A and B are shown apart, each in its own frame.
Chain A
Amino acid sequence: MNLEEAIQHTQQLSGRWIMPILLHLKSSGGRFTPLQKQLQISPSRLSDNFSRLVSKQIVKRLSPYERRHPLLPEYELTEYGELLFVITQCLQKAEETIEAGPLHRKSWTWPLMISLYHDYTRFQSLQRLLGNPSPRILSMRLNELCDLKLVKKEITEQPSLRYTYQLEDRLYPIVDMLWGELLKIEIIQ
C-alpha cells in the first residue's frame, strides 16, 4: 500500500459509523437487527449507512432471494470491504494507544496524521497530497489536532516566514507502527 492509497482508504473510513459497522458486521452475523442493537444506532441511520457502503462497494446487500435462511447474513463485506476491515482494525488499535478518542469520526484526521508522518509539513503540500480539500476544513482539522496535542504547529523564519505542522513526538512510534501494519496488508492482499 502506498501513501496515496493509505490516504484514500483511511478517508473512506472516516465518519461516525463506518468503522463500527465494519468492525461488528461479522460478529453480528451480517444481520441488520443484531448489528443495530449492538451499535445502539437507529434503524434508519443504519439503513442509510448501509446504502452508502453498498454504493461504495464496501458491503454487498444480499436480497431475500439470495439468502437461504432468515438467520443468514443480510450484508457481507466485499473484497474491498475486507481490505478496509483490516485497515479498520489497525486504526482502532492505534486510536486505543493514542487515547484521544475516536479520531476516525472526523474526515481527514487520519489522512492528515499519515501525511504528517511522511514529512508533508506545510499546509499547501498537505492540501495537494490530500486531493485539495477546502482550506477551511483542513485548517480546522489541523487546529483540532493541535488542540488535542497530537500535532504541533511551528513557525520558521528562514527562508521566509511560514508555518509547518509536525506530529507530536509521542505520536511518531504509534503512527510508525500503524504504517508498518498498513504496509503488511499489501503483502497479505
Chain B
Amino acid sequence: MYKPGLTIWYNVKSFERSVKYFTEGLGFSLDFKDEDQGIAIVTTNTKDCCIGFAESETVVPVTSSAVFEVEDIDLAFSELKKKGIQFTGDIEVIPGFVKLATFQDPDGHSFELSQTIVD
C-alpha cells in the first residue's frame, strides 16, 4: 500500500528564511521552490524524507518534534552550533534509550537530534 517517502509540511513566515536555515544551517539540500506560491521542499539526509515549507500569514509553532538521527550527538551538537543552530538547553539523556538535543527553527517549530544509546 505504501511506498517509500515521507514529507513533513510546516507553515512558515518566510520560505526563503527556512530554506537558508535548513540548507546552510542543517546541511540539507534544496529540492524545490516556487517563489510565487511561497513554497519549498528540502530533502533530508534520509532518502525520500523531505520537509516542506509553505508561507502562511499566521504561523503556530509545532511542538511535536521531527527527529533526525545522528551517529555522534556531541559532534553534531557542536558542529551545528558553529553554523548558528541554537539549541534549547544541553544534550539530554534518556538512560538506556537515546540522547537528545532539541532546537527550534526560525518559526519556533521544534526539531531534535537523536543518538540511540547502544549498550
Contacts and interface: CB of A to CB of B under 8 A. Distances in A.
Interface of A: 29, 31-34, 37-38, 43, 47, 50, 63-65, 67, 69-71, 74
Contacts of A70: 9-11, 52-54, 56
Contacts of A67: 11
Nearest to B14: A33
Nearest to A72: B54
Nearest to A29: B37
A37 B9 CA distance: 21
A64 B38 contact: no
Contacts of B36: 34, 37-38
Given A33-B38, A34-B36, A65-B60, 19 more contacts: A31-B37, A31-B54, A31-B56, A33-B37, A33-B56, A34-B37, A37-B36, A37-B38, A38-B36, A47-B57, A50-B57, A64-B11, A64-B56, A64-B59, A64-B60, A70-B56, A71-B9, A71-B39, A71-B54
A50 B35 CA distance: 22
B41 to A, nearest CB: 11
A73 B11 CA distance: 12
